[in-house]
Amino acid sequence: MSDHQPVHLQEYQPPAYQVSHTELTFDLDPAATRVSARLDMTRHPEAASDAPLFLHGEYLTLHSLALDGTVLDEGDYRLVEGGLEIARVPERFVLESVVEIAPCENTALEGLYQSSGMYCTQCEAEGFRRITYYPDRPDVMATFKVTVIGDKAKSPVLLANGNPVERGELDGGRHFVTWEDPHPKPSYLFALVAGELYKVEDGFTTQSGRDVTLQIWVEEENLDKTAHAMASLKRAMRWDEETYGREYDLDLFMIVAVNDFNMGAMENKGLNIFNSAAVLTHPHTATDQAFQRVESIVAHEYFHNWSGNRVTCRDWFQLSLKEGFTVFRDQCFSADVNSAPVKRIEDVAFFRTAQFAEDAGPTAHPVRPDHYIEITNFYTLTIYEKGAEVVRMLCNLIGAEAFRRGSDLYFERFDGQAVTIEDFVACMAEVSGADLTQFMRWYAQAGTPEIDAYGEYDYVHGEYRLTLRQRTPATPGQPFKKPLHIPVRLGLVGTKSGQDLRLTLAGESLGTDGVIHLREEEQTFVFTEVAEAPVPSLLRDFSAPVKLHFPYSREELAFLLTHDSDGFNRWDAGQRLAMLALDDLIAAHRNGVEKVMDSRVVEAFRLLLTTPMEDKAVLAEMLTLPSEAYIAEQQPLVDVDAIHAAREFVRQSLALALRDEFLALYEDNQSQEAYAPTPEQIGQRSVKNVALAYLMAIDDDQGLAYCQAQFDANHNMTDVRQALTLLVHSEHNHLAAPALKAFGEKWAHDPLVMDQWFTIQVTRPQSDALERVEHLMQHPAFSLKNPNKVRALIGAFAQNRINFHRLDGKGYALLADVVIELNRLNPDVAARMLTPLTRWQRFDDARQALMRQALERIKAEPLSANVYEVIEKALA
Ligand code: PHE
Ligand code: ZN
């Protein structure tokens, strides 16, 4: 669209006309698909009788339009920007239209498009308007009947939402299938798939005894990569019954894997469509991380059947209503079926890096934004992950038992409706009696709150006084912030006993692990009957999405690292300890002073390496240093080179000092077992591969021999990928080059493995990374039209901090070139790829100038709404 006007939450109006039933017929053809629609429509009881009818429609060629059987002429309706308007319509009527669309030209991957020769759809948020004229908004819900007509040879499989009710042969080698979805749904949940697909089938009996058929549809060569997704689906279905009392509601549940997809997956009713990267796994092609990602995304999309589909969003400002809640649900599921502390550590490590950065940048927005230009830009970490943290706080505030009653009430009360975040929170308030008025600010205020904490132990009275001060920095459009209701979970760990002390606050006992509620700008909490001097363990399990500052000494952190009863905070103490050392080294690097390793960090690591730990995945996390991106997030001004140098120095110092311990850890965790993505095996592989990375950080012959052997053994992709990455990221080019070549040839036929092959090469720290990107963009397996490839090559390179931020500006220029090209092909992906450039304020003057220059060059192009909105904010 040309003028890019914002939409405002305040301007919400209910739709003047509802659709009660929608019938669609697709006559499929790559360049000229005909879509016939028949809509049963009714005026909203409160709408004026002369309210015009507006239908969204974009990139459609209108063939005919009829109202109650009468064909409309061009004088009876108006084609306007973004749709079609009919000035007067009756109270109830049937509207019929025929349009033509061209799936083969659709590179935006919204609406109906082609992927590897098959037809598929993506309608969330506003893609349905590229399929037919329709009130394309989530508060219009209808039952659907859909007939798909296609070529028998090219599209033997024809799928849509719901249940198949009729199929038959047609002339000219064509056939059709008719599908009915009895559950009223908004247009964004519509889906259609057609092509040469093969299925794996299984079954599930619900808790009430209904049999559900489960199908995963893939290209033939991927039939052996579906077992894990199917097992994950069944686990998720059982979990939602047991944990939320939610049962599946159709006789058939389908998942389809497609190669070209903008996001991870989509929860279309009864017909989930997945990015192949989010569903296909095989021990030889997918890493442990990929297995776990598939499990969580399969669960996420399945959980949407209730949190999103049965109860949906009134408008797109409420997006976090379904996404925040559903991410929270999938996080709890993954925690239940895997190592819970590791799940939390991984989620928080990612959150504190990427979401905090978003909240601190020019595109910062509240969990419920109040305006947007392009809603596709708002499928963000804030909506998803911060939204999930807010729901988690709600659950912890009112308790798991009340939270379950609240969710039961929410699903019952609003079943079949399109509702708001207030509706959800009101259910939680109603069942618990809690006052959540102040809590609602979490949805309205952008920015990461910071808490400055200070504690004092009074020996004489046996009191511990904890003072907490909160402030939320200004964000674009929100200069002043109000205090939030922040639940701080904490313990006081006795320095003598090493145990959690009993918490008594204002005469009330909180046990040994309690929650205090910070509501004012500043509050002091006085804990009485504190028998010994404690070290406070604050914000346990990351009880609120905030930055917490406490003046811990290194000794106190080392103490928490070994004594804290909260697994998450033990890990966090290690991260804080490492950060203090890193800060010193960053300063030393900047000042040209010799770097000296803090022996306390070495001793803390030695202790970790020599104390048996049951959960090896936790150990692997504890042995992992904060990432460069996380370290950068902690600095007032990002010094790319100093951060890299400091982190490398710590890695090498640890490896040199603890070489034998890492070697032993590696050797002790070798396993000959057949691959299985179990938490135990994954934990074992994680520590082993962390140890190998340390050994490869120094020039250790034994480490190198193990690395090469691990690559050659070819046991599973987790081990192979780690070995290949370490070789390629080392200076041993004579070993790396043949390994890369062999790997690339072996997997040339598998796009998901080739994505990994791209990523491994462009993330190497050596200074030729950018030249490798340029070279690989010419590789036959690369394509700018495929979002996975763009992410694997360009996106991954932009995470290669020292090389993306090269001082000659070539990294930025390359990204700008790609964004300009993508802006024409796929605006959604273009806007997402732009993210690293929007963070220019965080860097030194030279880099700032270069980054802005790249942004200005993009700005000079004719821009899609997606890229326009991001560029405007970035340069504001
Ligand atoms: N709703 C999808 C999910 O969260 C994400 C998505 C959004 C996919 C928009 C495609 C387009 O699972
Ligand atoms: Zn979702």
- Whether 756 and 870 map to the same domain: the answer is yes
* Final residue of a structural domain among 421, 444, 467: 444
What is the Cα–Cα distance from 386 to 712, expressed in whole angstroms?
Answer: 42
123 lines ligand 1 (CB under 6 A): no
Ligand 1 atom nearest 301 alpha carbon: 12
Strand blocks (E) in 247-309: 252-258, 265-266, 271-275
- Whether 381 and 495 map to the same domain: the answer is no
Residue 38 tokens read as 């028949």
> With contact defined as beta carbons under 8 Å apart, do 178 and 146 qualify?
yes
C-alpha distances (whole Å) from 197 to each of 116, 225, 840 are 11, 14, 45
Nearest by Cα to 869 from 189, 420, 319, 380 = 380
265 CA from centroid of ligand 1 (Å): 6
Residue 42 tokens read as 């009714």
Indicate whether 399 belongs to any domain. Answer: yes
- Whether 785 and 842 map to the same domain: the answer is yes
Nearest by Cα to 387 from 316, 468, 341, 325 = 325
- Whether 495 and 384 map to the same domain: the answer is no
- Whether 752 and 771 map to the same domain: the answer is yes
Catalytic residue among 96, 110, 126, 301: 301
Residue bearing tokens 């109006």:
13
Indicate whether 328 belongs to any domain. Answer: yes
Q: How many residues does the chain have?
A: 876
Ligand 1 atom nearest 323 alpha carbon: 4
301 lines ligand 1 (CB under 6 A): yes
Indicate whether 253 belongs to any domain. Answer: no
Q: Which residue has its alpha carbon closest to ligand 1 atom 2?
A: 266
Residue 500 neighbours by CB under 8 Å, 6+ apart: 491, 492, 493, 494, 512, 513, 537, 565
> With contact defined as beta carbons under 8 Å apart, do 654 and 601 qualify?
yes
Would the pTM count as exceeding 0.80? yes
- Kindly state the DSSP code that residue 780 receives in the 8-state scheme: T
266 lines ligand 1 (CB under 6 A): yes
Range of the domain at 463: 450-544
Indicate whether 568 belongs to any domain. Answer: no
Indicate whether 785 belongs to any domain. Answer: yes
Nearest by Cα to 305 from 331, 334, 271 = 271
Ligand 1, residues 190, 258, 263: which to mutate, most atoms within 8 A of Cβ?
263
pLDDT value of residue 1: 43
> With contact defined as beta carbons under 8 Å apart, do 363 and 873 qualify?
yes
Does the annotation mark 301 as catalytic? yes
Helix (H, G, I), strand (E, B) or coil at 238: helix
110 lines ligand 1 (CB under 6 A): no
The single-letter code of the amino acid at 15 is P
Q: Classify burial at 701, counting beta carbons within 10 Å of its beta carbon; exposed 0-12, middle 13-18, buried 19 or more.
A: exposed
Indicate whether 82 belongs to any domain. Answer: yes
393 CA from centroid of ligand 1 (Å): 24
Q: What is the CATH number of the domain that holds 484?
A: 2.60.40.1840
- Whether 398 and 456 map to the same domain: the answer is no
Residue bearing tokens 């394309």:
136
778 CA from centroid of ligand 1 (Å): 30
Residue 762 tokens read as 């462009």
* Final residue of a structural domain among 544, 563, 590: 544
Q: What is the mean pLDDT of the chain?
A: 98
What is the Cα–Cα distance from 555 to 547, expressed in whole angstroms?
Answer: 21
pLDDT value of residue 681: 97
- Whether 373 and 324 map to the same domain: the answer is yes
- Residue 8 bridge partners (DSSP): 371
Which residue positions in the chain have pLDDT lower than 50? 1-2
Which strands sit side by side in the sheet containing 53-56, from one edge to the other? 53-56, 83-86, 78-80
Indicate whether 655 belongs to any domain. Answer: no
Ligand 1 atom nearest 262 alpha carbon: 10
pLDDT value of residue 761: 98
- Whether 849 and 772 map to the same domain: the answer is yes
- Identify the H or E element spanning 773: helix 769-776
Dihedral (C-alpha) 584, 621, 356, 279: value to the nearest 10 degrees? 150
The single-letter code of the amino acid at 302 is Y
385 lines ligand 1 (CB under 6 A): no
Contacts 24+ apart (CB under 8 A), 18-21: 18/42, 18/43, 18/44, 18/135, 18/140, 18/141, 18/142, 19/134, 19/135, 19/140, 19/141, 19/142, 20/142, 20/143, 21/142, 21/143, 21/144, 21/145
- Whether 502 and 372 map to the same domain: the answer is no
How many independent structural domains does the chain possess?
Answer: 4
What are 672-691's pLDDT values in tens digits? 899 999 999 999 999 999 99
Ligand 1, residues 379, 383, 828: which to mutate, most atoms within 8 A of Cβ?
379
- Kindly state the DSSP code that residue 699 receives in the 8-state scheme: T
- Whether 523 and 412 map to the same domain: the answer is no
Indicate whether 609 belongs to any domain. Answer: no
Q: What is the CATH number of the domain that holds 769?
A: 1.25.50.10
574 CA from centroid of ligand 1 (Å): 35
pLDDT value of residue 672: 86
Of the CA atoms within 13 Å of residue 514, those in its CB half-sphere come to: 19
Ligand 1, residues 266, 272, 316: which to mutate, most atoms within 8 A of Cβ?
266
Q: What is the CATH number of the domain that holds 353?
A: 1.10.390.10
- Whether 763 and 822 map to the same domain: the answer is yes
- Identify the H or E element spanning 204: strand 198-205
Q: What is the CATH number of the domain that holds 63?
A: 2.60.40.1730
Which strands sit side by side in the sheet containing 271-275, from one edge to the other? 198-205, 211-218, 252-258, 271-275, 265-266
323 CA from centroid of ligand 2 (Å): 5
pLDDT value of residue 441: 98
124 lines ligand 1 (CB under 6 A): yes
- Kindly state the DSSP code that residue 440 receives in the 8-state scheme: G
* Final residue of a structural domain among 155, 170, 196: 196
Helix (H, G, I), strand (E, B) or coil at 145: strand
- Whether 39 and 170 map to the same domain: the answer is yes
Residue bearing tokens 């098959």:
118
> With contact defined as beta carbons under 8 Å apart, do 617 and 339 qualify?
yes
Q: Which residue has its alpha carbon closest to ligand 1 atom 9?
A: 124
321 CA from centroid of ligand 1 (Å): 13
pLDDT value of residue 3: 77
